[in-house]
Amino acid sequence: MAAVSFKNRCTVKPAEPTYNGILPLSELDQIGTITHIPTIYFYQQPSENWLNPSDKVFKTLKDSLSFALVHFYPLAGRLRWIGRGRLELECNAAGVELVEAESRAKLQDLGDLSPRPEYNYLVPAVDYTLPIQELPLVLVQLTRFQCGGISLSFTISHAVADGPSALHFIFEWARIARREPLGLPPFLDRKVLQAGEPPVSYPLLDHAEFDHPPLLIGQTDNIEERKKMTTVSMLKLSEIQVKKLKNMANEGHCNDIGRPFSRYETVTGHLWRCACKARGHKAEQTTALGVCVDSRSRMQPPLPLGYFGNATLDVIALSRSGELVSKPLGYASSKIRRAIVSVTEEYVRSGIEYLKNQPDLTKFQDLHALGGDEGPFYGNPNLGVVSWLTLPIYGLDFGWGKEIHMGPGTHDFDGDSLILPNPNEEGGLIVALCLQVCHMEAFKKHFYEDII
């Protein structure tokens, strides 16, 4: 697919005056991925009433975005470094970037619409050579295809919004575009997740997630592993295959764990084992699995509905590769279960206090897109598996109908993976996985052949 040509590019600001000043970020906002995360939605050609005038779709997006930013005004601001590897958010209504592009391709040229290098033309590019205070926190690209179909892609700063918050924003924006009232206002006060709020002393618990993940045996850093070429595959699991995996995982374990393993614990355990096999690890190789846990409902009381920011914490399951591949699937799933249940309010508060007391947060930040190599790396021999199974990712309608496909945008970091529900099969799942090119075919082989 040829590169797109750009027709319109504009900065969209809130339609009304909003708070002007500093919005302190919580410690959870400033660790892990602090660059932009892309997602993309594809639509069939809008109906005739959306084609006249020719700029109706773009104008609708622009006008409704302006009103959405009145409610979600932090997204119109800018980040800035304040020393010690820390950021703050300046709410200054600088705006977000909206672009319109045209492609000479047709939607059918993209096959099954899975992530591919061509996506680079469909997702707005972030110029990380600029100072961070000049970067929009949200960039949106509308692309028109020759067949009349369109794609709408968003890339949103992870330092300002995690997955639930980003989806909250784009779905409320869509409601406004459909001329409907706001469904759930965002809760913007991040003090509820800041250290010392409430001022209670928490015991210092063990937080392995803040340690650097294991290295390959014989290596002293992961710089060479970071350089290796990667590829992305979208792997489908039918409902029958998911049930088979759950039966494999739970066989002999139900009495030990209190309840059967979930889909996430089961499929993630399978991914972990397959990655160890495909990468050809030595039996004694230590490997870490990063699990992203949403703490919103785990706090006491739960965080307010619509909490806008980062409320997720990455926790770690650790094992040796030899144990993972030689023992039944339930062994891997039990490691993942223990990591997840460890995330209590006390654990989250303890982690926040731990981060507050760090002299510098840089080593906890994943700066892939900024060219850094200090932050955590979940490539070989490690893996990170994020669940989108409970997120409201489908049915994004700005007025011209729901999408025909949605998925992650470009993600090209070894070990990154997502588990999504299959919108076309009840009970089916899709795994979006990025691995080094040299390991992907072996992974696919184990991924399907190991389901018995």
Q: What is the pLDDT of residues 282-296, one digit of tens each?
A: 999 999 999 999 999
| pLDDT tens digits, 379-438 | 999 999 999 999 999 999 999 999 999 988 766 789 999 999 999 999 999 999 999 999
Domain total for the chain?
2
Q: Cβ distance 294 to 164 under 8 Å?
A: yes
Least confident span in 79-93, 140-154, 285-299, 411-425: 411-425
Residue 203 lies in a domain: no
Statement to judge: residues 181 and 272 lie in one domain: no
Confidence of residue 205 (pLDDT cuts 50, 70, 90): low
Q: Residue 149: which domain range?
A: 5-193
| Number of C-beta neighbours around residue 275 at 10 A | 29
Measured in degrees and rounded to the nearest 5, phi and psi for residue 270 equal -65, -45
Residue 200 lies in a domain: no
Tell which of 138, 168, 193 closes a domain: 193
Q: Which residues are catalytic, by number?
A: 158, 397
Residue 201 lies in a domain: no
Residue 41 lies in a domain: yes
| pLDDT tens digits, 92-139 | 999 999 999 999 999 999 888 877 777 889 999 999 999 999 999 999
Residue 198 lies in a domain: no
Task: Provide the 8-state DSSP code for 187.
Answer: B
Q: Which pTM does this prediction carry?
A: 0.93
Confidence of residue 198 (pLDDT cuts 50, 70, 90): low
Statement to judge: residues 35 and 74 lie in one domain: yes
pLDDT for the residue numbered 372: 56
Confidence of residue 274 (pLDDT cuts 50, 70, 90): very high
Statement to judge: residues 55 and 87 lie in one domain: yes
Residue 166 sits in a domain whose CATH number is 3.30.559.10
pLDDT for the residue numbered 283: 97
Statement to judge: residues 184 and 285 lie in one domain: no
pLDDT for the residue numbered 202: 58
Kindly report the average pLDDT of the chain as a whole number: 91
Statement to judge: residues 230 and 103 lie in one domain: no
| Number of C-beta neighbours around residue 311 at 10 A | 24
Statement to judge: residues 181 and 224 lie in one domain: no
Cα torsion 359, 363, 369, 370: sign: positive
Statement to judge: residues 165 and 262 lie in one domain: no
Statement to judge: residues 349 and 412 lie in one domain: yes
